[in-house]
Amino acid sequence: QSKPQARVDGSTGVKFSDVAGIDEAVEELQELVRYLKNPELFDKVGIKPPHGVLLEGPPGCGKTLVAKAIAGEAGVPFYQMAGSEFVEVLVGVGSARIRDLFKRAKVNKPAVVFIDEIDALGTRRHGDLSEKKGDLHNASIQERETTLNQLLIELDGFDSGKGVIFLGATNRMDLLDPALLRPGRFDRKIKILPPRAEGRLDILKVHAKKLKMSPSVDLSPYAKNLRGWSGAKLEQLIQESALVAVRKGHDSILQSDIDDAVDRLTIGPIRKGLQLS
Ligand code: ATP
């Protein structure tokens, strides 16, 4: 069980209420929070603890956000690194970083370890070693393999009751080394899909709540019309609307400010007049 100094790495402060439009995924991930809050209970009852969970989906739809929310809801430390940060030409650096990351999490458990862009690290091995491509290229492939092997070792070392949840995120599932997907490693996959109209409205509301909106603002036309926009892009729309409002000297965000922001984000700052209804 974690000690007070375990909080030095800090939790995220993010809650599930900050996440919108991916309700099914959130529902499924609640179990991880229950586990992190009380790993011993799972042990006592004899429930096999959750292990590695892979979050899969396009950029900007909330993979990192939801991972942070799991740690935030449970009030446990969050250890984040990107797969690309482990990929180094210098031999041994990547695997040392993996070891260090997991060590810190284990010392401070219960904890969440999150590796974004795990495909950068876990791409299929033995792919493209080639004499033609030169020593540097081959050394970097070999280093990536060493790093991936270290990750597999760490994942396998998470025996029951360890109290550390391992989350990975990718938008290139097809590139992942199959070894990562074996039982006992990433034994669950959860899709984080782009939001539909209702989800887009909820996401807009989550971000609008943080700013001063005029009470007359209706966000539903944007939710309806901005098909294909990710959570990140919708957040950007709200931020941009605030900037437009400030530039125009409004003391709260008006509907016309959001219309202008949509124009700026879709057709650039010069042309105007996009109809949203
Ligand atoms: P990437 O694959 O590029 O790492 P990601 O799926 O991890 O993307 P996030 O980093 O979680 O995306 O999203 C970026 C930001 O966009 C979040 O911090 C949040 O402010 C906003 N956002 C994205 N999805 C949502 C969502 N479902 N609900 C609320 N806000 C969201």
State the Cα–Cα distance between residues 146 and 149, nearest whole angstrom: 5
Q: Which token pair is 125?
A: 């091995």
Q: How many CB atoms lie within 10 A of CB 30?
A: 12
Question: Would you place residue 274 in the very low, low, confident or very high pLDDT band (cuts 50, 70, 90)?
Answer: very low
Q: Does ipTM surpass 0.95 in this model?
A: yes
Nearest C-alpha neighbor of 247 from the set 271, 269, 218: 269
Atom of ligand 1 minimally distant from the CA of 68: 11
The better pLDDT of the pair 275, 28 is held by 28
Q: Which of 53, 65, 219 to mutate to test the pocket of ligand 1 (most atoms within 8 A of CB)?
A: 65
pLDDT digits (tens, 9 = 90+) for 235-272: 999 999 999 999 999 999 999 999 999 999 998 655 44
Nearest C-alpha neighbor of 51 from the set 180, 152, 147, 188: 188
The better pLDDT of the pair 124, 229 is held by 229
Q: Whose CA is nearest to atom 22 of ligand 1?
A: 231
State the Cα–Cα distance between residues 83 and 100, nearest whole angstrom: 14
| Ligand 1 lined by 26 (C-beta under 6 Å) | no
pLDDT digits (tens, 9 = 90+) for 110-131: 999 999 999 887 666 555 555 5
Q: Which token pair is 63?
A: 């993979």
| Ligand 1 lined by 163 (C-beta under 6 Å) | no
State the Cα–Cα distance between residues 17 and 232, nearest whole angstrom: 16
What's the gap in Å between 229 CA and the centre of ligand 1? 11
Question: Cα–Cα distances in Å, from 253 out to 91, 115, 132, 208, 235?
Answer: 53, 37, 58, 9, 14
